[in-house]
Amino acid sequence: MRTKTGTKQHPHDDAPDTAAAFERLCCLSDCPEKQALRDEIVSAWLPMSERIAGRYRGRGESLEDLRQVAALGLVKAVIRYDPARGPFESYAVPTVTGEIKRHFRDHMWTLHVPRRVQDLRNQVRVALKELTQTTCGHRPTVAEIAECAHLSEDDVRIGLEALDSFATLSLDAEVPGSEDGYALCDALGECDPGFDLVVDREAVKPCLQALPPREQMILYLRFFGGMTQSRIAEQLGISQMHVSRLISGCCAEMRDEVTADAA
């Protein structure tokens, strides 16, 4: 904003003059008077913290909650401020801003995203907003965003991915564009037990090939042909009890060999 004289006005030019109050605050010990004076200073600077909170509206958090977080940052700034550091405003603004950013980082991100990636996300978001106002008819490209944000194209891609990591969707959420209620959970795969069967068959294949031809035939008829032990015994001309002992013995032998190879 510019004044009638053409000079740029600082956004907090209406900031209260609390220098004397801070000097007096430093001379007081912990007492009700000091707390009352501190509250008075906080109230005087509260409009400034609320303006800072307003910059972050529309990002998934209510403005009232943002104002409370900003007020907490302001209280911390008043408590920690040392008049020897310079104007209170130069200390309070980054303190309040940092408190709001910390709130978003700790409470609003559903997925854990590294701080560097969060910063890239913010830079990309700001660049997108600026480019959207200047480019017409097309979405800004990665190269355009990189040039605007002074980032590499790889960093821009990371920031774009992080834009979708701020919140998660329920697995029951309907997929955009679907007309039959197709949800995300419908797209999830399931474990196919057939893979385990293939692994088991490949593991026992050498053991099966090492068995005598009669034992191979018995196992084939029982487990692949689906024949009962009685029918196998009748076909081979041996007793059903003998077939049972051969099957049990062959399976135990192959199990021991496969287990030993795995170990």
pLDDT (tens digit per residue) in 84-135: 888 898 889 999 998 888 887 666 655 566 778 878 888 888 888 888 877 6
Poorest-pLDDT segment among 111-125, 198-212, 238-252: 111-125
Q: Would you state the pLDDT for residue 1?
A: 39
Q: Would you state the pLDDT for residue 43?
A: 92
pLDDT tier at 166, thresholds 50, 70, 90: low
Distance CA 233, CA 235 (A): 5
Query: Cβ neighbours of residue 225 under 8 Å, at least 6 residues apart?
Result: none
Q: Would you state the pLDDT for residue 5?
A: 40
- What interhelical angle do 153-163 and 115-134 show, nearest 10? 90
Distance CA 159, CA 118 (A): 7
Q: Would you state the pLDDT for residue 106?
A: 66
**What's 20-70 look like in SS3?**
HHHHHHHHCCCCHHHHHHHHHHHHHHHHHHHHHHHCCCCCCCCHHHHHHHH
Q: Give how far the C-alpha of residue 120 lies from the chain's centroid of Cα atoms, to the nearest Å.
A: 15
Question: Please, are residues 74 and 49 in contact by the beta-carbon 8 Å criterion?
Answer: yes
pTM, entire model: 0.43
pLDDT (tens digit per residue) in 9-30: 444 555 788 888 888 888 888 7
